[in-house]
């Protein structure tokens, strides 16, 4: 678990205000203060973990259950056509608040945004051997 308190822990503790849209014992969801679209929602575990892989199984399950329930609700509430569901997992991926959070960003036909594929830099040109090696590395890794 993270040591330093983040802004999200203050929201969870009701020390600072937020527009809370969902709550269980383990999860809170609230509107993003600087939304990329109307209805942009953040889903967070109440316990403070910085990275996705640090969450215990039960917490990760509860977070995804909330994402599963909220995604269509957010889409409907925003009268959107779709939702981009994403996590900036680590600073190099753009994570600014070091407390795991799932972004639910309502999307609209012609909104000028892009798919998840737009977030990475130049695409690598990988050989079959390199693809096999990284696949093995992932599949053989300890849980």
Which stretches of the chain bind ligand 5GP, using CB under 6 A? Answer: 7, 18, 30-34, 42, 88, 94-97
Minimum distance from residue 39 beta carbon to ligand 5GP (Å): 13
Minimum distance from residue 11 beta carbon to ligand 5GP (Å): 6
Minimum distance from residue 13 beta carbon to ligand 5GP (Å): 13
Is 101 catalytic? The answer is: yes
The one catalytic residue among 40, 99, 101, 103: 101
Find the DSSP H helices in the chain. Answer: 7-12, 57-77, 128-140
Please identify, using beta-carbon distances, which residue of 28 and 80 lies nearer to ligand 5GP: 28
Residue 27 three-state SS: strand
Strand runs labelled E in 11-115: 20-23, 27-31, 41-45, 82-86, 102-107
Please identify, using beta-carbon distances, which residue of 8 and 62 lies nearer to ligand 5GP: 8
A 10 A CB-CB count for 63 gives 25
| Dihedral over alpha carbons 63, 104, 3, 91 (to 10 degrees) | 130
Q: How far is the C-alpha of 91 from the C-alpha of 60, rounded, in Å? A: 20
Please identify, using beta-carbon distances, which residue of 51 and 73 lies nearer to ligand 5GP: 51
Minimum distance from residue 16 beta carbon to ligand 5GP (Å): 6
Please identify, using beta-carbon distances, which residue of 13 and 33 lies nearer to ligand 5GP: 33
Residue 98 three-state SS: coil
Q: Which residues are catalytic?
A: 101
């Amino acid at each position: 678990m993270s040591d330093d308190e983040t802004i999200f822990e203050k929201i969870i503790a009701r020390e600072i205000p937020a527009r809370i849209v969902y709550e269980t014992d383990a999860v809170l969801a609230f509107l993003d203060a600087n939304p990329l679209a109307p209805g942009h929602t953040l889903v967070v575990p109440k316990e403070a973990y910085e990275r996705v892989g640090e969450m215990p199984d039960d917490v990760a399950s509860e977070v995804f259950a909330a994402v599963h329930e909220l995604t269509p609700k957010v889409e409907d509430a925003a009268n959107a056509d779709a939702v981009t569901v994403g996590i900036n997992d680590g600073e190099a991926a753009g994570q600014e608040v070091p407390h795991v959070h799932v972004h639910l960003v309502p999307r609209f036909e012609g909104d000028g945004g892009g798919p998840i594929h737009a977030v990475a830099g130049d695409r690598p040109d990988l050989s079959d051997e390199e693809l096999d090696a990284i696949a093995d590395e992932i599949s053989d890794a300890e849980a």
